[in-house]
Structure 1
Amino acid sequence: MASERITLTVPGPEGDREVSLSSPNREVFPAVGITKHELAEYVIAVSGPFLAANGDRPVSLERFPGAIDGESFFSKNPPKGTPDFVGAVSVRYNSGRVHPQLVLTEAAAIVWAVQMNTVVFHPWASLAGNTDNPVELRIDLDPQPGTAFADAVHAAHGMRSVLSEAGLESWIKTSGNRGIHLFCPIEPTHEFLDVRHAVIAAGRELERRMPDRVTTAWWKEERGERIFIDFNQANRDRTMAGAYSPRALPTATVSTPITWDELDEVDPTAFTVRTVPARIAEIGDPWARFHEKPGRIDTLLEWWQRDLDAGLGEMPFPPEFPKMPDEPPRVQPSRARKQD
Structure 2
Amino acid sequence: MASESTTIEVDGPNGAREIRISSPSRVLWPKVGITKLGLATYLAAVGGPFVEANGDRAVALQRFGGDVDGDFFFSKNPPKGAPEWIRSVVVTFPSARAHPMLVIDEPAAAVWAGQMNTLVFHAWPSRAENTDNPDQLRIDLDPQPGTGFAEARVAAFGMREVLAEAGLTAFVKTSGNRGLHLYAPITPDHEFLDVRHAVIAAARELERRTPETVTTAWWKELRGERILLDFNQAARDRTIAGAYSPRALPDATVSTPVSWEELEAGVDPRAFTMLTVPDRLAEVGDPWAGMSASAAGIETLLGWWERDLEAGLGEMPFPPDYPKMPGEPPRVQPSRKNADNWADDAG
Segments of structure 1 that go 5 or more residues without pairing to the other structure are none
Q: Which residue identity does 1:57 align to in structure 2?
A: R
Superposition TM-score, scaled by structure 1 size: 0.99
Matched residues in 2 for 1:289 and 1:131: separation?
Answer: 21
Is residue 93 of structure 2 the alignment partner of residue 68 of structure 1? Answer: no
Q: How does 1:83-232 map to 2 (within 5 A)?
A: 83-232=83-232
**Paired residues of 1:58 and 1:123 also in contact (CA < 8 A):** yes
Q: Deviations over 1:59-83 (max 9, x none)?
A: 0000112100000000111122111
Matched residues in 1 for 2:162 and 2:285: separation?
Answer: 28
Q: How does 1:250-269 map to 2 (within 5 A)?
A: 250-264=250-264, 265-269=266-270
Q: Which residue identity does 1:275 align to in structure 2?
A: T
Matched residues in 1 for 2:177 and 2:339: separation?
Answer: 36
Matched residues in 1 for 2:177 and 2:127: separation?
Answer: 26
- How many angstroms does 1:308 deviate by? 0.2
Q: Deviations over 1:3-43 (max 9, x none)?
A: 10001111122221111000100110001100010110000
**Range moving further from structure 2, 10-19 or 67-76:** 10-19
Q: Which residue identity does 2:84 align to in structure 1?
A: D
Q: What's the Cα RMSD here?
A: 1.0
Matched residues in 2 for 1:79 and 1:45: separation?
Answer: 23
- How many angstroms does 1:338 deviate by? 9.0
- How many angstroms does 1:288 deviate by? 0.6
**Paired residues of 1:140 and 1:182 also in contact (CA < 8 A):** yes
Q: Deviations over 1:243-297 (max 9, x none)?
A: 0000000000000000001113100000000000000000100001201120110
**Paired residues of 2:79 and 2:116 also in contact (CA < 8 A):** no
What's the counterpart of residue 330 of structure 1? 331
**Paired residues of 1:8 and 1:21 also in contact (CA < 8 A):** yes
Residue 8 of structure 2 aligns to a residue whose secondary structure is: strand
Q: Deviations over 1:91-122 (max 9, x none)?
A: 01011111111101011100100000011000
Residue 133 of structure 1 aligns to a residue whose secondary structure is: coil
Matched residues in 1 for 2:339 and 2:121: separation?
Answer: 41
**Paired residues of 1:5 and 1:20 also in contact (CA < 8 A):** yes
Residue 329 of structure 2 aligns to a residue whose secondary structure is: coil
- How many angstroms does 1:223 deviate by? 0.2
What's the counterpart of residue 282 of structure 2? 281
Q: Which residue identity does 1:324 align to in structure 2?
A: M
Residue 128 of structure 2 aligns to a residue whose secondary structure is: coil
Matched residues in 2 for 1:243 and 1:37: separation?
Answer: 21
**Range moving further from structure 2, 12-21 or 88-97:** 12-21
What's the counterpart of residue 45 of structure 1? 45
Residue 100 of structure 2 aligns to a residue whose secondary structure is: strand
Matched residues in 2 for 1:112 and 1:145: separation?
Answer: 37
**Paired residues of 1:85 and 1:108 also in contact (CA < 8 A):** no
Q: How does 1:295-314 map to 2 (within 5 A)?
A: 295-314=296-315
Matched residues in 2 for 1:211 and 1:277: separation?
Answer: 39
Q: Which residue identity does 1:237 align to in structure 2?
A: D
What's the counterpart of residue 291 of structure 2? 290
How many residue pairs match? The answer is 340
Q: Which residue identity does 2:281 align to in structure 1?
A: I
Matched residues in 2 for 1:149 and 1:28: separation?
Answer: 26
**Paired residues of 1:139 and 1:233 also in contact (CA < 8 A):** yes
Matched residues in 2 for 1:6 and 1:93: separation?
Answer: 37
Q: Deviations over 1:220-255 (max 9, x none)?
A: 000000000000000110000000000000000000
Over the matched positions of the two proteins, sequence identity in percent amounts to 67
**Range moving further from structure 2, 330-339 or 217-226:** 330-339
**Range moving further from structure 2, 260-269 or 6-15:** 6-15
Superposition TM-score, scaled by structure 2 size: 0.97
Segments of structure 2 that go 5 or more residues without pairing to the other structure are 343-347
- How many angstroms does 1:156 deviate by? 0.5
Matched residues in 1 for 2:329 and 2:219: separation?
Answer: 12
Matched residues in 2 for 1:146 and 1:85: separation?
Answer: 47
